[in-house]
Chain A
Amino acid sequence: KQEVTQIPAALSVPEGENLVLNCSFTDSAIYNLQWFRQDPGKGLTSLLLIQSSQREQTSGRLNASLDKSSGRSTLYIAASQPGDSATYLCAVLNSGGSNYKLTFGKGTLLTVNP
C-alpha cells in the first residue's frame, strides 16, 4: 500500500526566503506526482505535475523535482511571499493494470511572514 509523507507538517518563514517542501513515498512504481496548493476552506489548485520519466518541472517561482528511485520529491519556492501562505499537498499516482490510485500526503502548512 502506497504511503505518502510530507515533512514538516508546518513551516513558518520570513518573506523573501527560499524554501523547500518535502514529499516521500514508499512505493517507487509511480506513474506521476502532483503538487497542489490548498487555501483555507477552499479546494485544491494544481501547481505542478511531474511524470515518472521526468526529473523536474518548473512554473514561475516554483520548481518540483522527482527522484523516483529514492521515493522523494521536493517543491522549491523561490523568494517566498505572504501570498504563498497555504497548505501544500503532494499526491502520487500508482497504476496496477487498468486500476489507478491517487494517494495524498497530509500536507505542509506554510506561513510566510511579512
Chain B
Amino acid sequence: EAQVTQNPRYLITVTGKKLTVTCSQNMNHEYMSWYRQDPGLGLRQIYYSMNVEVTDKGDVPEGYKVSRKEKRNFPLILESPSPNQTSLYFCASSFKVTYEQYFGPGTRLTVT
C-alpha cells in the first residue's frame, strides 16, 4: 500500500530532551516536507527537501533540523524542544513538488 508513515504518533516529552520524528514514504517520491498545524494558524511549512541531500527552510524552521540521506526517509529533529513546539506535525511527499501531495497521519507532540 502506497503511504507516508510517521513515528511516533503521539509523544510527550520534557523541555530540552532531544527527539526525532521519523517520516518514511514507499512511493519513490522526490519531494518531502514537514508541516506543523496549530489552532488558528493553520498549516505552516517547517522544512522541505526537493531530493536526496537537498533540503531548505520553510516558513518556521527555527528549533528544527532535518536530513535527507535516503530518498524514502526525512526525519525531523528537535535538538532542544521547548513548549512552543507543542503541535501536530505532518510529513508529506510527492513525486515532484508540482504533483499531488500525500500526507502522513500526523504526530502529536507535547513538550512540558
Contact = CB atoms under 8 A, between A and B. Distances in A.
Contacts of A43: 4, 90, 103-106
Interface of A: 31-32, 34, 36, 41-46, 49, 89, 91, 93, 95, 99-102, 104-107
B42 A42 contact: no
Give the size range of B's interface with the partner.
Answer: 20 to 34
Interface of B: 4, 33, 40-43, 45, 56, 90, 92, 97-106, 108
A100 B98 contact: yes
B106 A42 contact: yes
B93 to A, nearest CB: 12
Contacts of B98: 31-32, 93, 95, 100
A44 B90 contact: yes
A95 B50 CA distance: 13
B105 A42 contact: yes
A69 B23 CA distance: 37
A46 B100 contact: yes
A102 B45 contact: yes
Contacts of A34: 100-101
Given A32-B98, A49-B100, A93-B98, A104 B42 contact: yes
Most A CB contacts (10 A, CB to CB) among B4, B33, B43, B90 go to B43
A104 B60 CA distance: 14
